[in-house]
Structure 1
Amino acid sequence: MEPGEGKERCLKQRQVLIFFVLLGIAQAGAEPRHYSVAEETESGSFVANLLKDLGLEVDELAARGPRVISKGKKLRLQLDRQTGDLLLNEKLDREELCGPTEPCVLPFQVLLENPLQFFQADLRIRDINDHSPVFLDKEIILKISESIPLGTTFLIERAQDLDVGSNSLQSYTVSPNSHFHLKLQNSSDGIILPQLVLDKALDREEQPEIRLTLMALDGGTPPRSGTALVRIEVLDINDNAPEFAKLLYEVQVLENSPIGSQVAIVSARDLDIGAYGEISYVFSQASEDIRKTFRINPKSGELLLTQKLDFESIQTYTLNIQATDGGGLSGSCVVFVQVMDLNDNPPELTMSTLISEIAENLQETIIAVFSVSDPDSGDNGRMVCSIQEDLPFFLKPSVENFYTLVTYTALDRETRSEYNITITVTDMGSPRLKTQHNITLLVSDVNDNAPAFTQTSYTLRVRENNSPALHIGTVSATDADAGANAQVTYSLLPPHDPHLPLASLVSINADNGHLFALRSLDYEALQAFEFGVGATDRGSPALSSQALVRVLVLDDNDNSPFVLYPLQNGSAPCTELVPRAAEAGYLPYLPLPEAAAEQAQADPLTVYLVIALAAVSSLFLFSVLAFIAVRLCGRSRAASLGRCSVPEGHFQGHLVDVGGTGTLSQSYQYEVCLRGGSGTSEFQFLKPILPNFLAQGEERVSEANPSFRDSFEFS
């Protein structure tokens, strides 16, 4: 087969759309709808409106995705999706499409793609009388012996008319003459055969040749006609007709036989001698196809091939061969030629429906509907269809070599987003021929993955006294989906503690998960808090996940120490702390540091006390004891109180913050009274001396206990 012919056949097969799939897939057993149109009707002409037969309204038609498919080289019909009108794509020639076959029916289908449905129908091409009867031989020669008896009939070559039905050839007439009349005989296949019947004996000496006009008429309105000249040569007597050795010759010829090959040899003999015994071979009642394909040697009877055979076009030929002697007598035989098929055509695949993209969560979805064909016969035309084994698809056979490519499980785009599928069709001939068709299928995303945080919980540390709008950390989540299904939006979740003012503490950037402190944090007010963060994608429906964020507030040294006890408001009763007779260096409970003891011995008026302090810091979270240096300023009961103060500067025994992040100090003044007389060994705190009192140097006398009072200050 030539490359051009292969391409043409490929195009033809691509146009062969789903004729029988309706029976096996969508509407098994449904009777087709019938429509008709006269041949030679102009392209674009209206054939029928299919809305009623399809059971659709006008506004439903376009959404169903209708299209016309047909089996054959071309798609000769089109469907107007807006109106449902079925229109011609081209001017149709019934004789070209169907030849002598009547009725001339072109099957077609209407494919509704969404959802998949088939509507089976056919279009009948009505014949018009556009062909006249034609005699293939414009001159018909009959050689008739003058001794032929009256009433003898002579079969003459018939005319041919490409039209069918009433428009086909209906009758013959012959020009008026005194020797013959016309007799019409119907053959077994319905063909009208013209015969001449001898009415008057021939006399060669009187009239050696008779010329008649034979007219063929069809049944059209008005009728068409064709004529041929019948020339009758009157011969001398010949009393033996040729006889063939066999009346039927059966031969088989390979379809790839070269032009000029011998098909058969026919042979006849005649017992007469001379001109009456000379035989010539000719075709009788041969069609145009036979005359183009074969040639017979008129002398030898050798039947030769004049053009290539094609099993896929014509499988058999029946040839009528006539042997005529010199006296005009003839005999006939039949040669039956059977064309033998070769595996010269690879399988062909015609794709009817193809989906190039599928959502990942669909199961048992039809990806493609296609048909396979092979014009060869026997094993040469038997086919096997397959795809790769490592794919989540399978081929499902239907009727008339139709297949559907179906997914057998839901696909996962996150695992594989594209499939390259190769459909292989192999015939069973020798050698085996195959055809492959490649399909690329894209898997579209479905929102089947929720955003996933990189951590289930986050712990953030920020020091107190931060500036507002400070970036304190970031949460991050990813989504395995694609497009909008993978776009993540962050949000704060309502806190478990309804009293936590989360909205005024932190905010989150919805696009990138950045967290910000909305105000300055105070460790002394809030040491830690936690809240939930949500991540939501933009799929439909949206999916989300959440993570826990814990914020630990780090302490800064932003609070000075202060005395918890003795109270500074003077409301507490005088508390005994140190015996009046205490020696220098005396301390209740804790030993003095070495440096403090040496200082106490050098200055007998300095008393070291242990005072309960409160310091709020990350390293000092509760009340602590500190060394306080107190210098006694009183001298005697009768003496007025004086003032003295601890030297400024940092030294062992100051009231200081020991957190290690810096030194903060606070000064306090207290009145101290000695209990009992001068011989007692105890003193008490009375109440603090406010700074303005210390500046004025006033005395503090306890009304409840008129004992000697000394005042001191410490820092």
Structure 2
Amino acid sequence: MAAPSNSRERSELVLLCVFLGMLWETGTGQIRYTVPEETDKGYIVGNLSKDLGLKSQELAEHGVRIISRGKTQLFALNPKSGSLTTADRIDREELCAQSARCLVNINILVEDRGKLVGIEIEITDINDNTPKFQAENLEVRMNEIAAPGTRYSLPEAVDPDVGVNSLQSYQLSPNHHFSLDVQTADDGTITPELVLERALDREQEAAHHLVLTAADGGDPRRSGTVRIHVTVLDTNDNAPVFAQPIYRVKVPENVPQGTRLLTVRATDPDEGTNGKVTYKFRKINEKHSPLFHLNENTGEISTAKNLDYEECTFYEMEIQAEDVGGLLGRTKVLISVEDVNDNRPEVIVTSLFSPVLENSLPGAIIALLNVHDRDSGKNGQVVCHTPDNLPFKLEKSINNYYRLVTWEYLDREKVSMYNISVMASDLGVPPLSTATHIVLHVADTNDNPPAFPQASYSAYIPENNPRGASIFSVTANDPDSEENARVTYSLIEDTLQGAPLSSYLSINSDTGVLYALQSFDYEQIRDLQLQITATDSGDPPLSGNVSLSLFVLDQNDNSPKILYPTFPTDGSTGVELAPRSAEPGYLVTKVVAVDGDSGQNAWLSYRLLKASEPGLFVVGLHTGEVRTARALQDRDTLKQSLVVAVQDHGQPPLSATVTLTVAVADSIPDVLADLSTLDSPANPRDSGLTTYLVLAVAVVSCVFLAFVIVLLTLRLRRWHRSRLFQATGGELAGVPSSHFVGIDGVQAFLQTYSHEVSLTADSGKSHVIFPQPNYADMLISQESCEKNDPLLTSIDFHECKDQAACIKVS
């Protein structure tokens, strides 16, 4: 009944240990688990998702993963179940040797939170190792005169397990001459000794065969044996004695191979061959044995291989001295290895968050680093730093972890990629350092609106442009990248002369090229003011504006337009008057013309294209004034026909012509008599030199006959009117010559410049008296034109019954 009870108590104890190992250590922020060694791959260590407060399917979403230093990963994370499992079989003895507790620390990274959680896993021992002696056979030589009670040291067995699973007892095979005594040291180790119980007699029994069994306390129990062959020797009554019971030496780990560490010495007071001592290792770890060499004759211990402080810091061994008589002496050698700063710090980037958004707040985690130096003391203390000219800094996290974070805002447009050097240096003498380079890319955000190189633009387009013509091109630059830098262009909607701007212009949204949708007329639109918007494709989109002044350039597409003289609308002929007494340079009239164009296209020049009397009149090149070139003579005909051409300076030049009829006479009746024979001039635009020549030949005879008839009629009327003037005694004075005088439907266009004209009765005749010619450069004003509108008027002379002269203007 006792056995089941003990088994049940042991099971409850194991369950309690496992339960306590899985509890959170709230004070340290760690999770603790317990797992026995030698479990199969995939053994569930603990429910990690539950302990992290996450669901199993959320582990991948949060980027939960194991980060640990070392080449071999002992544990793995099952993303489906959320459990922490073993990645391979774990050998506790290989991992922790004979340490009382075997703890493995790993870290769990919750990547999206930049959080590290420490996990401590205790590897519990199982009885998987058998106590093992260094040799299977042991030869012991004893002198036959050895007294009962003499003790002989026996080799110790080694069991890598710990606790009850380690070496617990020794047992000697039954024998009449020997017994076994087990000594327990202060550190709990047990040492077997062979005790002579009865005196030996070489002559009776020269050799004895024994079996020493070493057993552990595990379940199941394991044991190992060594065969002891005892040879009985002749008398040798002194055993070798070492000068020191314990030898201690300290040696730096970088000593060269073959360096002498120390020399052990044992003396044997016997003489001759009985006093000759040889040395050999009595007890040494199998792994340590190849590192050292013992000279069996001198006792000198030297290094056979290079030592490594990081592999082992302390070596313990026993040296045995034996004389030829088989007597033994032993001593203990303790070798302490001192650390040398021979390892550079190791920097491992366990997590890198690249790229990082340029608008990330200061303190954003860029990378998680693990720093480790295999040396110890100050040689293993590491400090890390980054260059001061970069917007990053290192923050200490748990254990040997650092977080690389930003300390100011990043700007991708200034720096799009950082090559960050993390320098790790230990505190050894001389210090060793390691540089780790992290390439960090800065991701773009839409933080820059498109910008134009200039605040405003000016463009020019000639009028009469073809529809669809390219006018101008604008380009906006956006320092962002990809979609955030893809710019589209548009026009800000406006109206122009009551029509939307989009009916006049359009812009290519991709290229920024501006096109004309209509043909512009300089005389209607001379400039346009518009706003162009450049918008990127970011989220949210940003935009920038620029103003464009579009100027329409004039082309010579308008012919000169003659404003004066204008032609009557009632079929009469406009006539300019010039007295026969006019001197050279007398201002007869002035041709006034305008051009709808501008600039050089509107510069006008005047020239006399044709005259019925060449050399009689001249036209001012730039003024359009028609003046007499010489004095008028009696032989000059009453009617003078002039054709004046007006031409602009455009390319090609455009022109217009006007036909002037100048009446030369000293009195109005003479003018009236002759003007009645005049026909209305043809349209100057439709007449030419050829037309005038044909008409002149055709009507020359008719004009002569009509002139004779009119002259007779005028003579009769003059005689009749002179009678009226004499009867009334009235006088006509101040009759303006700038009106049309009409007789029988024939009208003459009066000079528009001011002349003083008076009609007097002298000797029964009426005379028109012209004053001295006026050479003033005068134009009829717009106000005068409006008051005298229409310009074509007629003056009719009627008989007055009350003997007073009257003039009726119609």
Q: Give the letter for the 1:598 counterpart.
A: T
Residues 226-305 of structure 1: pairs in structure 2 closer than 5 A: 226-234=224-232, 240-273=238-271, 277-305=275-303
The structure 2 residue matched to 1:93, chosen from 87, 91, 108, is 91
Where 1:97 maps in the other structure, the secondary structure is helix
The answer (yes or no) to whether the contact 2:423–2:436 under 8 Å persists in 1 is yes
Is 1:424–1:434's contact at 8 Å kept on the other side of the alignment?
A: yes
- Evaluate the alpha carbon distance shift between residue 166 and residue 526 of structure 1 in structure 2; reply closer, same or farther with a 3 A threshold: same
Take 1:169 and 1:568, find their aligned partners in 2: how far apart are those partners? Answer: 145
Please state how far the C-alpha of 1:645 moved relative to its aligned partner: 0.7
- Residue 417 (structure 1) aligned with residue 447 (structure 2): no
Query: Aligned pair 1:442/2:441, yes or no?
Result: yes
Equivalent of residue 190 in structure 1, options 164, 188, 191: 188
The C-alpha deviation readout for 1:353-389, integer Å capped at 9, x for no partner, is 3355444444444444334444345665555645555
Check whether the contact 1:485–1:539 (CA below 8 A) recurs between aligned residues: yes
Task: Tell me, yes or no, if the aligned pair for 2:740 and 2:794 is still in contact at 8 Å.
Answer: no
Contact preservation (8 Å) 1:35, 1:122: yes
**Of 533-542 and 260-269, the range deviating more from structure 2:** 260-269
Structure 2 counterpart of 1:521: 520
Taking structure 1 as the reference length, what is the TM-score of the superposition? 0.74
Partner of 2:132: 134
Counterpart CA distance in 2 for 1:548 and 1:483 is 26
Q: Is the contact between residue 116 and residue 398 of structure 2 (CA under 8 Å) also seen in structure 1?
A: no
For residues 467-524 of structure 1, the C-alpha deviation after alignment (integer angstroms, 9 at most, x for no partner) is 3222222222222233222222111113388955212111111111111122233344
Residues 289-328 of structure 1: per-residue CA shift (max 9 Å, x gap): 4433334344433323333222222222233333345565
Aligned to 1:489: 488
Deviations 1:78-100 (A, max 9, x none): 33445534343333322222222
Which residue is equivalent to 2:48? 50
Cα distance in 2 for residues equivalent to 1:420 and 1:307: 42
Q: Distance in 2 between matches of 1:359 and 1:130?
A: 54
The whole-number CA distance in structure 2 between the counterparts of 1:607 and 1:684 is 19
C-alpha displacement of 1:192: 3.5
| Alpha carbons 1:71, 1:107 under 8 Å: kept | no
Task: List alignment gaps of at least 5 residues for structure 2.
Answer: 1-24, 593-615, 620-625, 643-647, 651-656, 689-720, 723-731, 743-791, 799-810
Distance 1:334 1:544 in 2: 86
Other structure's SS at 1:478 match: coil
Aligned to 2:462: 463
SS in 2 for 1:494: coil
Residues 179 and 582 (structure 1 numbering): CA distance in 2 closer, same or farther, change over 3 Å? Answer: farther
| 1:146/1:201 contact within 8 Å kept | yes
CA contact (8 A) 1:464 1:522 kept: yes
Please tell me the residue identity of whatever aligns with 2:537. Answer: R
Structure 1 residue 122: Cα displacement:
3.0
Give 1:544 deviation, angstroms.
1.6
Aligned pairs for 1:366-385 within 5 A: 366-377=365-376, 380-381=379-380, 385=384
- The change in CA–CA distance for 1:630 and 1:135 in structure 2 (over 3 A counts) is same
TM-superposed CA distance for 1:45, in Å, is 4.8
- How many angstroms apart in 1 are the aligned matches of 2:521 and 2:274? 138
Partners of 2:357 and 2:637 in 1: CA distance? 94
Residue 681 of structure 1: how far off its partner (Å):
5.5
Structure-to-structure mapping, 1:126-165, within 5 angstroms: 126-144=124-142, 154-165=152-163
Aligned length: 632
> Which residue of 630, 639, 660 maps to 1:629?
660
Q: Supply the distance in 2 between the matched residues of 1:41 and 1:118 (Cα, whole angstroms).
A: 27
The 8 Å contact of residues 106 and 122 in structure 1, kept in 2 or not, is answered as yes
Query: Is 1:644 the counterpart of 2:680 in the alignment?
Result: yes
Please give the per-residue CA displacement for 1:516-540, whole angstroms capped at 9, x wherever unaligned.
1222333444333312111112223
Give the distance between the partners of 1:632 and 1:647, measured in 2 at CA: 19
Task: Report which structure shows greater RCO (CA 8 Å, sep ≥6).
Answer: 1
Contact 1:49–1:85 under 8 Å retained in 2: yes
Q: Which moved more, 1:413-422 or 1:508-517?
A: 413-422
Q: CA RMSD in A?
A: 4.7
For the 8 Å contact 1:581–1:681, the answer to whether it is kept is: no
Query: Which structure 2 residues correspond to residues 441-590 of structure 1 after superposition, within 5 A?
Result: 441-495=440-494, 499=498, 501-556=500-555, 557-558=557-558, 561=561
Q: 1:457 offset after TM fit, Å?
A: 1.7
Query: Would the aligned equivalents of 2:98 and 2:162 in 1 still touch at CA under 8 Å?
Result: yes
In structure 1, distance between residues paired with 2:340 and 2:797:
141
1:66 aligned to which of 58, 64, 67: 64
Match of 2:628 in 1: 598
Q: Distance in 1 between matches of 2:305 and 2:579?
A: 148
- Residues 239 and 531 of structure 1: is their aligned pair in 2 closer, same or farther, counting only changes over 3 Å? same
Change (3 A) 1:183 1:553: same
SS in 1 for 2:628: helix
CA offsets per residue over residues 116-156 of structure 1, 9 Å max, x none? Answer: 11121133334343332221122234445666666665542
Any conservation in 1 of the 2:575–2:662 contact (CA below 8 Å)? no
- Pick the aligned partner of 2:110 from 109, 112, 117: 112
Distance 2:100 2:680 in 1: 139
Q: For residues 657-676 of structure 1, what are the structure 2 equivalents within 5 Å? A: none
Determine the C-alpha separation between the residues in 2 that align with 1:603 and 1:88. 135
Q: Is the 8 A contact 2:672 2:741 kept in 1?
A: no
Task: State how far apart, in whole Å, the 1-side matches of 2:262 and 2:448 are.
Answer: 77
> Contact between 1:181 and 1:196, CA under 8 Å: does it hold in 2?
yes
Aligned partner letter, 1:502: L
2:542 counterpart letter in structure 1 = L
User: Which of 174, 177, 185 is the matching residue for 1:176?
Assistant: 174
Is the 1:293–1:308 Cα contact (8 Å) retained in structure 2? yes
SS of the residue corresponding to residue 288 of structure 1 reads coil
Task: Out of 395-404 and 309-318, give the one that drifted further.
Answer: 395-404
TM-score (norm 2): 0.66
Cα separation, partners in 2 of 1:303 and 1:636, compared to 1, 3 Å: closer
Q: Deviations over 1:403-427 (max 9, x none)?
A: 4444443343333433434444455
Q: Is the 8 A contact 2:40 2:89 kept in 1?
A: yes
SS in 2 for 1:86: strand
Give the structure 1 partner of residue 603 of structure 2: none
| C-alpha distance in 1 between matches for 2:317 and 2:675 | 164
Identity among equivalent pairs (%): 38
What is the distance in 2 between the residues matched to 1:182 and 1:334? 22
Name 2:331's counterpart in structure 1: 333
- Please say if 1:84 is aligned against 2:114: no
Q: Is contact 2:235-2:325 (8 Å) kept?
A: yes
Question: The residue matched to 1:629 in structure 2 has which SS?
Answer: strand
Structure-2 change in CA distance of 1:402 and 1:75 (3 Å): same
Report the more deviating stretch, 425-434 or 583-592: 583-592
- How far the C-alpha of 1:264 sits from its partner, in A, is 1.8
TM-fit CA distance, 1:564: 10
Instruction: Structure 1: give runs of 5+ residues left out of the alignment.
Output: 1-26, 571-575, 609-615, 619-625, 653-676, 688-701, 709-715
Shift of 1:561: 3.5
Q: Note if contact 1:463-1:553 (Cα within 8 Å) is conserved in structure 2.
A: yes
Give secondary structure in 1 for the equivalent of 2:73: coil
d(CA) in 2 for partners of 1:403, 1:513: 50
Pair 543,593 (structure 1): closer, same or farther in 2 beyond 3 Å: farther
